[in-house]
Amino acid sequence: ELKVEQNPLFLSMQEGKNYTIYCNYSTTSDRLYWYRQDPGKSLESLFVLLSNGAVKQEGRLMASLDTKARLSTLHITAAVHDLSATYFCAVDKSSGSRLTFGEGTQLTVNP
């Protein structure tokens, strides 16, 4: 059974600081997705990582994938309050878009 684990689960940080969220998964996969969810809202796709060494960046967020280590990271640079949300990683188990989600990391950026 595929397991996807994120850490930390809760992250409180100051504006302007940097931090990294980690996503580990238990079986081989070469597709990993990052999503954002605001409270009471839907999930919004942030990044699709398709191969070992893939790196994607959008604004203050950068995601990377190491398939050999079965690890993805989401790095936050110079955090701002608007980044406060819950971030999920999800792994494609069967190349059919059947995603297994991590527990989510609830990020709070304090002014």
Residues in the site for other proteins, rule: CB under 8 A?
Answer: 31, 33, 35, 41-45, 48, 50, 88, 90, 92, 94-104
31-69 in b/e burial notation, b at 16+ Cβ within 10 A?
bbbbbbeeeeeeeeebbebeeeebebeeeebbbbbebee
Residue with the two structure tokens 């302007």? 16
Cβ closer to other proteins: 50 or 78? 50
- Kindly tell me which of 25 and 79 has the beta carbon lying closer to other proteins: 25
**19 beta partners:** 76
Say how many CA atoms lie within 13 Å of 66 toward its Cβ.
10
Task: Using the minimum distance from each CB to other proteins, give the nearer residue, 49 or 76.
Answer: 49
Instruction: Determine the Cα–Cα distance for residues 2 and 21; give it in Å rounded to an integer.
Output: 20
Considering beta carbons, is residue 48 or 62 the nearer one to other proteins? 48
